[in-house]
Structure 1
Amino acid sequence: MTSESLSDNEIELVKNSWDVVKKDGKHFGNQLFIDFFTKHPTYQQNFKSLANIPLSELGSSKRLLAHTTGVMYALTSLVDNLDDTEVVVEMLAKTGDNHRRRRLDVRAFDELGVVFIDLLRTALGANVLDGQLLNAWSKTYSLIVAHIKTAFQ
């Protein structure tokens, strides 16, 4: 991710909107994975600690909360450092390597992105996630995934 990839305005939009989302980060993180597993149930099997939990019980699962808490901290760190290219690239390389070693299908990140943007729309409101903010988040997520995919090569 380079400073040329995201404008200062896009970084500010993403940071400001993430400040709203992270206030209810536990709920957002849990809902992200519940929605993801609902749309793509086969991916739940990639999570050994979650594989045998019925989807209807995931919302109250401490195992899911433990995972999503880590994901939310990682996302917050990424957003907080969007203006520090080298830090973000290193963070994403580590994320990609961790998921590659677990043999996760790299396409899962693309599919998660659709769910992520939909959930952002719900969390922020469709009137807030307008064209400019939607474009900023879409661009940010695309850059994140591009760097994660690099670690899979």
Structure 2
Amino acid sequence: MENVQLSEPQKELIRDTWQIVNQDQIHHGTVLFTRLFELEPELVFLFQYNSANFSSVQECLNSSEFTEHIRKVMTVIDAAVRSLDSLLSLEEYLTGLGRKHRATGVKLESFNVRILSVTVPQQAHKYNLPE
């Protein structure tokens, strides 16, 4: 993992933003995945639960299984935000998580910060946050 150094103002902005996002994780997680599927529509086919074949992105996003996946993703993001002062402590866990995702067909490129960098500014204006 790349040694990322965040300034204190950057950490504060991330924590303040997360405090707002964390109040409605499912909504914001759904916005995040909606954007991900817009950028990479083929990814929706990786989310087939109990042999369910979703006929649309919306059907996937509305499924209870996918809502649970959103919850798990948001829990991982929460752990990352809480670990901003020691990001390396998450490295082993995230590496293992990446291996599991790779085994299901997810490509490394799909774990791209651009999804967050596009989604967060789109939502920031709703909460008077700096973009």
Name the TM-score class by shorter chain. Answer: 0.7 to 0.9
- Residue identity matched to 1:121: P
Please list every run of at least 4 consecutive aligned residues from structure 1 whose deviation after the TM superposition is greater than 3 angstroms. none
> Are 2:3 and 1:7 equivalent residues in the alignment?
no
Work out whether residues 29 and 72 of structure 1, in 8 Å CA contact, stay in contact via their aligned partners in 2: yes
Q: Distance in 1 between matches of 2:114 and 2:17?
A: 17
Of the candidates 81, 105, 108, which is equivalent to residue 106 of structure 1? 108
Work out whether residues 34 and 58 of structure 1, in 8 Å CA contact, stay in contact via their aligned partners in 2: no
Work out whether residues 21 and 28 of structure 1, in 8 Å CA contact, stay in contact via their aligned partners in 2: yes
Deviations 1:87-106 (A, max 9, x none): 22223222222222223111
> Are 2:124 and 1:124 equivalent residues in the alignment?
yes
- Residue identity matched to 1:124: A
Q: Distance in 2 between matches of 1:43 and 1:71?
A: 15
Q: Distance in 2 between matches of 1:35 and 1:51?
A: 22
Deviations 1:29-52 (A, max 9, x none): 112112211331111112232972
Q: Percent identity?
A: 24
Work out whether residues 14 and 79 of structure 1, in 8 Å CA contact, stay in contact via their aligned partners in 2: yes
> Are 2:64 and 1:86 equivalent residues in the alignment?
no
User: What SS is found at the alignment partner of 2:71?
Assistant: helix
Work out whether residues 78 and 91 of structure 1, in 8 Å CA contact, stay in contact via their aligned partners in 2: no
1:81 Cα deviation after fit: 0.7
> Are 2:72 and 1:44 equivalent residues in the alignment?
no
Q: Distance in 1 between matches of 2:57 and 2:45?
A: 12
1:72 Cα deviation after fit: 0.4
Deviations 1:109-151 (A, max 9, x none): 12xx323222211322186233xxxxxxxxxxxxxxxxxxxxx
Work out whether residues 80 and 87 of structure 2, in 8 Å CA contact, stay in contact via their aligned partners in 1: no
Normalising by structure 1, we get a TM-score of: 0.71
What is the Cα-based RMSD across aligned positions, in Å?
A: 2.3
Q: Distance in 2 between matches of 1:120 and 1:99?
A: 23
Normalising by structure 2, we get a TM-score of: 0.81
- Residue identity matched to 2:88: E
- Residue identity matched to 2:42: T
Q: Which has the higher contact order (CA 8 A, sep 6+)?
A: 1
Query: Cα gap change, 1:101/1:60 in structure 2, threshold over 3 Å: closer, same or farther?
Result: closer
> Where do 5+ consecutive residues of structure 1 fail to align?
131-153
Q: Distance in 2 between matches of 1:85 and 1:42?
A: 31
User: What SS is found at the alignment partner of 1:52?
Assistant: coil
> Where do 5+ consecutive residues of structure 2 fail to align?
none
- Residue identity matched to 2:7: S
